[in-house]
Structure 1
Amino acid sequence: MKRLLITGAAGALGRAMRTRLAPLAETLRLSDISDLGTASENEELVQCDLGDADAVHRLVEGCDGIVHLGGISVEDKFSKILNANLLGLFNLYEAARANGHPRILFASSNHTVGFYRQDQHIDATAPMRPDGLYGVSKCFGEALARMYFEKFGQETALVRIGSCMEKPSNHRMLATWMSYDDFRSMIECIFRAPMLGCPIIWGVSNNDSRWWDNSHAAYLGWKPKDNAEHFRAELDATLGKQDPAAPLNVYQGGNFVKDPIFPET
């Protein structure tokens, strides 16, 4: 690609992908509402509020692909989620429609299905069961992306990210963990595929304990290699015996199922 846009580039996942995705494009355009530090040789840094439609239009202009990691990534006040995750996403898709339909990776979430139990194994056809306002915003995002695909042909990979970090930090993540390297290889497959469509892809490594079936997206050629099972002994030693009745160990969304709805005042 000539220019790849990464939104949310100042966040933890954005920072992790910043160097890993550099070989995919001649130029990385990195965007966030927060400080992005100093640009490397092949980087463009753009501070942008996703709620500003004109700014988002300028942000997308000239981009061949978009890795959309931007927005609120935890449960929060609806007004914050509304601006970043709903209005901001609409602005992004309108900007993409006006600028040649660059292929998009939309960072959705496992919290679209958080109320499934951990003893249930599901695929992309399972009905949504969001566990909070954040999860609802990702359900909206998936529906919006699907409409833009059906109506305008805008291709999007709907990646329901589990827990993408250096290593799992609790026993739930033995099922949900996705390594940075596996995410990078997924992104490569998404932008390399001759035809993408609008598939749901579970963002999870090759974990022995995983709950999600990605067989429907096998045509992309993505084969995650890492396995959270390597961290089980370390977690057992540091966290000790787990309460099997705790939401963290019962629901796929973990503690998000019990998070309160945050008041606006």
Structure 2
Amino acid sequence: MFHKFLKLPIELQLVIWHFHWPPTRHYFTLYDARIREYGAISMEDERYVNRLVPKRKKATLDFIPFLTKIPFTGQIRVRLRRVVSVDPPEPEFSMIGSKAEVYVYFAQDVFYFDDFPYYYPLTDTWAKEEWFRFLRKPITQLQPPKLHKSHWIFKVRNLALRLEWIGESRGTEWDHTILRKMKSLKEVWLVHPRTPNIAIETPFLMINRTFNELPYSVDGGVKDAYLYLQGKMKEYGIDAPVVMTTIDT
């Protein structure tokens, strides 16, 4: 440890923090019908990292100006690290009751949303796969909320969206209500696992396999979803390229 770090000029401390803060991929899904799930993975070594804000009033990271704290509501299951003593390794997690916050760096972090179908037991119906259901409050909310313009989702610059494995996902009307307001977007990834029921973090770790143009192996449904979203970005006036990535295993 560099024990004299805090004695350096604050400007130099911030430069060091900036260059040593690893880009992070944050993923958002549902653990079950009432509990959200979140995880953060370092892009340097593909390991889970703990981005939770400590419960105490002030932490060292609170003084890093390029970091932002984003809040979650309701119960959330947070993946923290992988257990290496079991085969295959399973990630450990922490269950947070409510009011969890995590540190993010909007300029370089990637925010990855699962396309999660939802079952309403009272009406015995399934809702269409939705990318941003994680943001509903509560998850069981039938009518989607109106997110305030200051909501953190509208500050996201790098967005990744999971395509259902048969390639039919195009987002719900509410998904597109949010997308059209994400004017800070710089790049959008469509993550297409070509094997059903693959764990969400598996293609997330493999997102570096990208294509500037669609590969010949992509089926028609995926291609249609890709072209549809590409067209929507232009319609919404968002100058963010749509990048396709497919996962074969």
Which of 1 and 2 has greater Rg? 2
TM-score after normalising by structure 1: 0.37
TM-score after normalising by structure 2: 0.39
Higher helix share: 1
Higher strand share: 2
